[in-house]
């Protein structure tokens, strides 16, 4: 299939931040680890990326046991992101599994790296043909694709070989472009970029020489001489060398040029640039690209308190001083303090004074002053920086009447009216990317950063990557020079960042945040405080629960908080403050909100999670939710109505939060919420999220014991036992189930006893104790019938059928599976139907009815994939592979086995892994690939021996013996 037809609007950027687009809509590539995986895949686009390379990139030499599972989960989400129209399990698409790795196939021009290389190649060809103008245009277009270092927001890839090679590649293209621009008399267009590059690489003589020539060509001889002297001193001080030939030639040419007369006096009012300015390449490029295009000359730089808005504006202004021959004006509007905000009258008076209007000629009333200001600025190429604006209304009268002047406005408000009505361009300033935050700290703390790189990372994280906090932390570290940075980090965690970074000066963190908070209305202040109680980013529904609001009102307030940059909104519509703002909101809540109100807010939020989880489970697993009544649990579907797709989407999105929500319930004295949440989530977690399920159930069992609910504890221990069994931890599973059985016995809970007995029977079957297993299943079936539990009966019939199949009673087993399937179908339970069909397919395979078996298994596979039941999907794939192998379609079967094996390994499903390894070994032996077959059987033997699985251990041993005998026979 032609990759260009797969996703015609897909675009991926790696030349700077990692960004993914569908058309003009930017998508969220997910958490850092998933972004890292996508970055590696994109660097290798068109080439196979092995699992080993991905694991090495994510975890280095010590990957966690769940590494493969995590990779698989990330791949699943990346497929949805990159190719949303493709079937989740289709064999072709943008991201496909190929053997032991992944292949990212992108349409033409979908990757900026590919476009960059094609343009650079075309530029070389144009230059060789003597087309200098064409080469310049192509190189300029190639370099415009870059916003920063490749994958700069994925710090773990900074030293990746492909990233290092890309940096060198970009460097060669930059030098070629600058050389051509200087030689064709276009120095003015590159002086800004060379200034930035020169500041970043003070020892690079090639860059410094070109910068000197650019200054010289644009008439800035003083700056050219200063640059040469600064570079000469730096080379001498740091390397002990004199300037090389290229730098010396640039200096010699500069000395020989005549000195122009000085220009007329103009206002240069910008504050000094902040020292050690780092990052913000994308924002600087946006400012570069927008100026002089004929669009309205208004730019707003918006962001949360302390994020560096003024620093960015001032830095850019100093870089581009040459663009504003009529001067640069600075005015602090003091909008962060409502009581001290600069009035329109005062602001216009100061602006007119700046452009040399005599005091006696400045009109008295604001309207006349605004008219005079528009007159004075007409035709002037000025930069006017209006700092700390409170609102669009405060700024409106200060805007010039033409676009000759550029007005830059910084504000904590989004200034939406200026964008909508005046055509302003908004630049939203976020927290520094991790790499830039670390870079800033390293510059500020000096050598200590080299000695303790891990502590620098921790310190940047503790400061939420907020530039103001980073600088305050560096200042505190300087004052505590006797302490290692690790000690500073420890103090930060013990005392809290607000205390340590709030010494009481004018830039204190609390004071800076407080100015934004005081501008909010009462209801927004209240919700801001209560959001500190949320264990995760909040949806409007979560915020509504916290604030006891309707969802529309909550969404409106969230939008208001985001517009003032007290919250950040991600691509999924979830809102959260950064860590320092969360700490500030928490302090306010403790001081303002009473304990009763805080407890009620947490209770409402936990109730929202539980109600939504119950509703999602009820729609996805209706047969299971009906059994809660039999279990003696008071769970009722009272949450919001939702479609199956919405239910699954909510569960997937909240999966990382569930453990934290349970912890929050315990910490806040509401253990019943932890219990109910774990009970509601069980079927979802069982279907492929075993690793995440273990801590959820651990907390929930602790909660059940805390409230003395033996029935809930027994139910949760049964669930935990099933999870442990699926993870191949038979002793742990048996312990949980026996404890559950004892609790059920004391409570005379027949439903619970049946479940525990049935699951113990499954483990005994795996361990080869068939007699005990039959007794367990028989007793469980009888108990389910006594209480008229159809779901339980269907589950018991399935388990009994598995046992009968294992001891050779295939006809009886098939009857059990058919009966179970019909009961599950009556209940609308797709997972149960699919499990019964999978087992029925296995029976028909054993009976030699391979075509019938394949039909059942394909239908099972379809159902499992509909509900994303990973365990069932892998089992169906494995059984389908066996059916195909028996039909002689060995190579096709091996592909199914490999896919099943990947899923089982990702889930750490030890029994499934051993079973599919044995099946794969048998198929490989059939096509005379005996070396590979032996390897699979040996792995299966090791796993089965470790877990005590009687069947798979004997199967592996017999297969190895058979392969050895066949080899001797030949």
pLDDT 10s digits, 909-941: 788 888 899 999 998 888 888 888 888 888 988
Please give the share of the chain, as a percent, with pLDDT higher than 90.
7
Q: Can you say whether the dihedral through the CA atoms of 367, 369, 375, 378 is positive or negative?
A: negative
What pLDDT, on a 0 to 100 scale, did the predictor assign at position 700?
A: 93
Q: Are 705 and 675 in contact (CB under 8 A)?
A: no
What pLDDT, on a 0 to 100 scale, did the predictor assign at position 482?
A: 65
Instruction: Compute the residue count for the chain.
Output: 970
Q: Are 717 and 747 in contact (CB under 8 A)?
A: no
Q: What is the mean predicted confidence (pLDDT) over 522-533? A: 88
d(C-alpha 456, C-alpha 849), whole Å? 65
Token pair in block for residue 776: 């367990």
Q: Which of 111-125, 585-599, 628-642 has the lowest mean pLDDT?
A: 628-642
Q: Where are the alpha helices (DSSP H) in 655-689?
A: 658-667, 671-686
Burial degree of 506 (CB within 10 A; 0-12, 13-18, 19+): exposed
What pLDDT, on a 0 to 100 scale, did the predictor assign at position 869?
A: 83
Give a three-class secondary structure readout of 563-619.
HCCCCEECCCCCEECCHHHHHHHHHHHHHHCCHHHHHHHHHHHHHHHHHHHHHHHHH
d(C-alpha 933, C-alpha 913), whole Å? 15
For residues 690 and 37, which has the higher predicted lDDT (pLDDT)? Answer: 37
Query: Please, which pLDDT band fits residue 263 given cuts at 50, 70 and 90?
Result: very low
What pLDDT, on a 0 to 100 scale, did the predictor assign at position 80?
A: 83
Greatest CA separation for the chain: 114
Residue 388, SS3 per DSSP: strand
Within 10 Å of residue 635's Cβ, how many Cβ atoms? 19
Whether the predicted pLDDT of 39 surpasses 80: yes
Token pair in block for residue 113: 């790296």
Q: Report pLDDT digits (tens) over 432-458.
A: 888 887 888 778 777 777 777 777 777
Beta strands 425-429; 298-303: pairing state = parallel
Place of tokens 């686009």: 45
What pLDDT, on a 0 to 100 scale, did the predictor assign at position 7?
A: 43
Q: Report pLDDT digits (tens) over 794-838.
A: 888 888 888 888 788 888 888 889 988 988 888 888 888 998 998
Q: Report pLDDT digits (tens) over 312-338.
A: 888 888 888 878 888 888 888 877 766
State pTM to two decimals.
Answer: 0.53
Task: Name residue 22's beta-bridge partners.
Answer: 10, 25
Q: Are 848 and 840 in contact (CB under 8 A)?
A: no
What pLDDT, on a 0 to 100 scale, did the predictor assign at position 806?
A: 78
d(C-alpha 113, C-alpha 41), whole Å? 12
Q: Which of 365-379, 670-684, 703-717 has the lowest mean pLDDT?
A: 365-379
Q: Can you say whether the dihedral through the CA atoms of 103, 108, 111, 114 is positive or negative?
A: positive
Whether the predicted pLDDT of 262 surpasses 80: no
Q: Are 195 and 166 in contact (CB under 8 A)?
A: no
Nearest CA to 827 out of 866, 883, 788 is that of: 788
Q: How far is CA 821 from CA 665, 722, 795, in A?
A: 38, 21, 10
Nearest CA to 440 out of 306, 297, 539 is that of: 306
For residues 483 and 3, which has the higher predicted lDDT (pLDDT)? Answer: 483
Q: How far is CA 330 from CA 274, 339, 560, 678, 759, in A?
A: 15, 21, 29, 58, 74
Whether the predicted pLDDT of 745 surpasses 80: yes
Q: Are 540 and 554 in contact (CB under 8 A)?
A: yes
Whether the predicted pLDDT of 76 surpasses 60: yes
Whether the predicted pLDDT of 282 surpasses 80: yes
What pLDDT, on a 0 to 100 scale, did the predictor assign at position 673?
A: 92
Whether the predicted pLDDT of 258 surpasses 50: no
State the Rg of the chain over Cα. Answer: 34
Give me the DSSP letters along 894-910. HHHHHHHHHHHHHHT-H
d(C-alpha 597, C-alpha 915), whole Å? 55
Whether the predicted pLDDT of 89 surpasses 60: no
- Which residues, 6 or more positions from 644, have their beta carbon under 8 angstroms from its beta carbon? 619, 620, 867
Residue 426, SS3 per DSSP: strand
What pLDDT, on a 0 to 100 scale, did the predictor assign at position 290?
A: 64
Token pair in block for residue 929: 């690939």
For residues 226 and 532, which has the higher predicted lDDT (pLDDT)? Answer: 532
Within 10 Å of residue 801's Cβ, how many Cβ atoms? 27
Q: What is the mean predicted confidence (pLDDT) over 15-23? A: 88
What pLDDT, on a 0 to 100 scale, did the predictor assign at position 87?
A: 52
Whether the predicted pLDDT of 541 surpasses 50: yes
Place of tokens 């032991």: 100
Nearest CA to 516 out of 530, 505, 528 is that of: 528
Within 10 Å of residue 908's Cβ, how many Cβ atoms? 18
Cα 217 off chain centre by: 46
Q: Are 444 and 423 in contact (CB under 8 A)?
A: no
Mean pLDDT score of the chain, rounded to an integer?
Answer: 82
d(C-alpha 435, C-alpha 470), whole Å? 13
Q: Report pLDDT digits (tens) over 842-895.
A: 888 888 888 888 899 999 989 888 887 888 888 889 888 988 888 888 888 888
d(C-alpha 738, C-alpha 717), whole Å? 9
Burial 398-434 (b: 16+ CB within 10 A, else e): bbbeeeebbbbbbbbbbbeebbeebebbbbebebbbb
Q: How far is CA 933 from CA 39, 51, 877, 929, 938, in A?
A: 35, 21, 19, 6, 9
Query: Please, which pLDDT band fits residue 264 given cuts at 50, 70 and 90?
Result: very low
Q: Report pLDDT digits (tens) over 225-245.
A: 778 888 888 888 888 888 888
Query: Please, which pLDDT band fits residue 256 given cuts at 50, 70 and 90?
Result: low
Most confident of 81-85, 118-122, 258-262: 118-122
**In what helix (H) or strand (E) does residue 117 lie, and over which residues does it extend?**
helix 112-128
Give me the DSSP letters along 451-477. H-HHHHHHHHHHTTT-HHHHHHHHHHH
- Which residues, 6 or more positions from 587, have their beta carbon under 8 angstroms from its beta carbon? 498, 510
What pLDDT, on a 0 to 100 scale, did the predictor assign at position 576?
A: 82
Whether the predicted pLDDT of 461 surpasses 90: no
Q: What is the mean predicted confidence (pLDDT) over 345-374? A: 81
Q: Report pLDDT digits (tens) over 203-214.
A: 888 888 888 888
Query: Please, which pLDDT band fits residue 736 given cuts at 50, 70 and 90?
Result: very high
Q: Report pLDDT digits (tens) over 572-618.
A: 678 887 777 787 888 888 888 888 888 999 999 999 999 899 888 88
What pLDDT, on a 0 to 100 scale, did the predictor assign at position 260?
A: 34
Within 10 Å of residue 728's Cβ, how many Cβ atoms? 25
């Amino acid at each position: 299939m032609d990759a260009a037809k797969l996703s015609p609007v897909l675009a991926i950027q790696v030349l700077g931040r990692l960004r993914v687009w569908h058309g003009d809509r930017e998508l969220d590539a997910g958490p850092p680890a998933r972004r890292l995986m996508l970055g590696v895949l994109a660097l290798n686009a068109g080439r196979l990326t092995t699992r080993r390379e991905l694991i090495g990139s994510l975890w280095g030499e010590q990957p966690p046991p769940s590494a493969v599972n995590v990779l698989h989960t990330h791949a699943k989400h990346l497929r949805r992101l990159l190719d949303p129209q493709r079937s989740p399990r289709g064999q072709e698409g943008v991201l496909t599994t190929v053997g032991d790795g992944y292949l990212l196939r992108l349409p033409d021009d979908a990757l900026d790296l590919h476009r960059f290389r094609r343009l650079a190649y075309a530029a070389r060809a144009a230059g060789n043909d003597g087309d200098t103008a064409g080469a310049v245009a192509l190189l300029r277009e190639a370099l415009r694709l870059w916003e920063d270092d490749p994958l700069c927001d994925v710090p773990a890839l900074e030293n990746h070989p492909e990233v290092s090679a890309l940096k060198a590649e970009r460097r060669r293209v930059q030098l070629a472009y600058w050389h051509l621009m200087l030689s064709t008399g276009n120095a003015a267009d590159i002086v800004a970029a060379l200034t930035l590059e020169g500041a970043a690489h003070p020892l690079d003589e090639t860059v410094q020489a070109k910068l000197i020539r650019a200054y010289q060509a644009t008439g800035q001889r003083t700056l050219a001489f200063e640059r040469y002297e600064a570079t000469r001193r730096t080379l001498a001080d740091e390397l002990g060398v004199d300037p090389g030939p290229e730098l010396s030639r640039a200096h010699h040419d500069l000395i020989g040029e005549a000195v122009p007369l000085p220009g007329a006096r103009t206002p240069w009012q910008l504050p000094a640039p902040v020292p050690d300015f780092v990052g913000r390449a994308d924002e600087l490029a946006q400012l570069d690209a927008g100026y002089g295009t004929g669009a309205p000359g208004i730019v707003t730089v918006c962001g949360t308190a302390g994020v560096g808005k003024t620093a960015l504006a001032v830095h850019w202004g100093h870089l581009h001083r040459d663009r504003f021959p009529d001067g640069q004006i600075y005015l602090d509007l003091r909008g962060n303090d409502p009581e001290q905000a600069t009035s329109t009258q005062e602001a216009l008076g100061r602006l007119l004074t700046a452009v040399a209007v005599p005091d006696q000629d400045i009109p008295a009333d604001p309207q006349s002053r605004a008219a005079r200001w528009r007159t004075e600025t007409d035709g002037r190429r000025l930069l006017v920086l209006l700092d700390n604006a409170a609102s669009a209304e405060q700024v409106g009268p200060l805007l010039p009447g033409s676009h000759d002047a550029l007005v830059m406005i910084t504000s904590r408000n989004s200034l939406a009216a200026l964008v909508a009505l005046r055509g302003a361009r908004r630049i939203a300033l976020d927290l520094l990317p991790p790499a830039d935050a670390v870079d800033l700290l390293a510059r500020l703390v000096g050598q200590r950063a080299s000695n303790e790189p891990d502590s620098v990372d921790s310190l940047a994280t503790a400061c939420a990557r907020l530039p103001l906090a980073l600088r305050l932390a560096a200042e505190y570290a300087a004052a505590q020079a006797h302490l290692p940075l690790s000690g500073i980090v420890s103090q930060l965690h013990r005392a809290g960042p607000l205390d340590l970074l709030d010494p009481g000066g004018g830039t204190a963190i609390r004071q800076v945040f407080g100015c934004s908070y005081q501008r909010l209305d009462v209801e927004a202040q209240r919700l801001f405080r209560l959001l500190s109680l949320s264990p995760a980013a909040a949806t409007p529904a979560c915020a509504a629960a916290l604030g006891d609001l309707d969802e529309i009102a909550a969404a409106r307030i969230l939008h208001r908080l985001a517009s003032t940059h007290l919250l950040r909104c991600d691509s999924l519509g979830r809102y959260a403050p950064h860590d320092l703002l969360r700490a500030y909101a928490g302090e306010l809540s403790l001081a303002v909100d009473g304990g009763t109100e805080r407890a009620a807010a947490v209770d409402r939020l936990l109730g929202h999670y539980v109600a939504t989880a119950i509703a999602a489970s009820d729609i996805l697993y209706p047969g299971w939710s009906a059994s809660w009544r039999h279990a003696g649990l008071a769970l009722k579907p009272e949450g919001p109505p939702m479609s199956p797709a919405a239910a699954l989407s909510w569960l997937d999105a909240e999966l990382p939060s569930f453990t934290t929500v349970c912890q929050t319930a315990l910490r806040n004295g509401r253990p019943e919420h932890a219990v109910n949440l774990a009970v509601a989530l069980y079927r979802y977690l069982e279907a492929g999220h075993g690793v995440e399920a273990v801590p959820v159930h651990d907390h929930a069992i602790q909660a059940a014991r805390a409230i003395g609910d033996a029935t809930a504890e027994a139910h949760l221990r049964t669930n935990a036992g099933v999870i442990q069994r699926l993870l191949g931890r038979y002793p742990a599973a048996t312990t949980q189930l026996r404890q559950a059985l004892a609790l059920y016995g004391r409570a005379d809970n027949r439903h619970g006893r049946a479940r525990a007995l049935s699951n113990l029977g499954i483990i005994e079957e795996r361990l080869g104790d068939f007699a005990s297993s039959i007794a367990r299943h028989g007793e469980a079936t009888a108990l389910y019938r006594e209480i008229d539990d159809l779901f339980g009966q269907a589950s018991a019939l399935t388990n009994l059928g598995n046992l009968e199949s294992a001891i050779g009673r295939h006809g009886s087993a098939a009857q059990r599976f058919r009966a179970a399937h019909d009961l599950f179908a009556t209940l609308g339970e797709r997972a149960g139907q699919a499990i019964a069909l999978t087992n029925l397919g296995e029976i028909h395979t054993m009976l030699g009815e391979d075509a019938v078996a394949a039909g059942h298994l394909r239908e099972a596979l379809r159902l499992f994939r509909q509900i994303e039941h990973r365990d069932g999907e892998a089992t169906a794939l494995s059984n389908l592979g066996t059916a195909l192998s028996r039909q002689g379609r060995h190579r096709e079967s091996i592909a199914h086995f490999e896919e099943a094996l990947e899923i089982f390994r990702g889930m750490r499903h030890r029994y499934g892994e051993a079973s599919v390894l044995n099946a794969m070994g048998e198929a490989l032996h059939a096509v005379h690939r005996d070396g590979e077959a032996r390897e699979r059987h040996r792995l299966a033997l090791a796993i089965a021996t470790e877990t005590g699985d009687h069947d798979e251990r004997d199967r592996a041993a017999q297969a190895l013996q058979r392969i050895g005998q066949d080899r001797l026979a030949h």
